[in-house]
């Protein structure tokens, strides 16, 4: 086994069965995954940080807060952490319910390595993509925050497809002033074309 995990993301295991936690930790760490195990949903929530990138392997039925209740809590927090639900009960209705609420997959105990490992890899790839999108969103929002209130007004009208003359009429300013604002907007946002400007502005609304 490698001494250093190959994956920067973390696989969070939440299960009140110590034997299941140990077996999952062994399997995942043997395949070079970072793993954090929790004996309860409450313990996981106490350490949860929204910026964490990874996936969650979550037991449906536990003492205290159930896996389904933890899913509800995470949704309320705006979490996009991909969830793989694990159950020893072949409850199709429950599976459908969790999937409708955004669970990524659902597997039954006893599960096998051939089934679980590709699923974990797929969930981590999804988590990476979501993290990258969020980083782009934040960077775009930070750049847009540099604009003055007037530049924001001009930008909104550029996005709406208004011409310089129309923007000037809308805001009661001269066309030359509109052109100056457009130049400032392009410079502050570090874009060269209107298409790039639109992409940046719309990326914060995704």
User: Any idea what the CATH number is for the domain that residue 39 is in?
Assistant: 3.40.50.2300
Looking at residue 205, its pLDDT comes to 62
d(CA 11, CA 104): 14
Looking at residue 102, its pLDDT comes to 62
Looking at residue 72, its pLDDT comes to 87
Domain check: are 125 and 177 in the same one?
no
- Evaluate whether residue 140 is within a structural domain: no
Look up the pTM and report it.
Answer: 0.62
Looking at residue 169, its pLDDT comes to 93
When divided into structural domains, the chain yields a total of 2
Domain check: are 110 and 18 in the same one?
yes
Domain check: are 107 and 197 in the same one?
no
Domain check: are 82 and 154 in the same one?
no
- Evaluate whether residue 141 is within a structural domain: no
- Evaluate whether residue 139 is within a structural domain: no
Dihedral sign computed on CA atoms, order 51, 53, 55, 59: negative
Domain check: are 67 and 28 in the same one?
yes
- Evaluate whether residue 4 is within a structural domain: no
Domain check: are 78 and 171 in the same one?
no
Cβ proximity of 7 and 50 under 8 Å:
no
Alpha carbon 72 to chain centroid distance?
16
Looking at residue 177, its pLDDT comes to 94
Cβ proximity of 33 and 5 under 8 Å:
yes
Domain check: are 47 and 117 in the same one?
yes
Domain check: are 73 and 41 in the same one?
yes
- Evaluate whether residue 49 is within a structural domain: yes
- Would you write out the chain's pLDDT as a tens digit for each of its 206 residues? 344 445 578 999 999 989 989 989 999 999 899 999 999 999 999 988 877 888 999 988 888 888 888 988 988 887 888 888 887 766 666 666 666 666 567 777 777 778 888 888 888 888 887 777 776 777 778 888 888 999 989 998 988 889 999 999 999 999 999 999 999 998 888 888 888 888 887 776 65
d(CA 58, CA 86): 6
Asked which of 112, 134, 156 is the last residue of a domain, the reply is 134
* Domain with 194 in it: 146-203
Residue ranges of alpha helices (H) inside 51-112 are: 67-76, 92-100
Domain check: are 63 and 164 in the same one?
no
């Amino acid at each position: 086994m490698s001494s250093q995990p190959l994956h920067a993301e973390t696989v969070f295991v939440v299960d009140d069965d110590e034997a299941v936690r140990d077996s999952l930790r062994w399997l995942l760490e043997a395949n070079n995954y970072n793993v954090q195990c929790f004996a309860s949903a409450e313990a996981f929530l106490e350490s949860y940080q929204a910026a964490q990138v990874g996936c969650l392997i979550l037991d449906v039925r536990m003492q205290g807060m159930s896996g389904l209740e933890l899913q509800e809590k995470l949704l309320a927090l705006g979490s996009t952490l991909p969830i793989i639900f694990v159950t020893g009960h072949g409850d199709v209705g429950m599976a459908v319910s969790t999937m409708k609420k955004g669970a990524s997959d659902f597997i039954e105990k006893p599960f096998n390595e051939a089934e679980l490992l590709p699923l974990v890899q797929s969930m981590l790839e999804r988590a990476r993509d979501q993290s990258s999108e969020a980083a782009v969103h934040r960077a775009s929002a930070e750049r847009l925050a540099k604009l003055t209130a007037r530049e924001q007004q001009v930008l909104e009208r550029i996005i709406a497809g208004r011409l310089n003359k129309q923007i000037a009429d809308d805001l009661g300013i001269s066309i030359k002033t509109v052109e100056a604002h457009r130049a400032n907007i392009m410079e502050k946002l570090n874009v060269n074309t209107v298409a790039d400007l639109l992409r940046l502005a719309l990326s914060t609304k995704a």
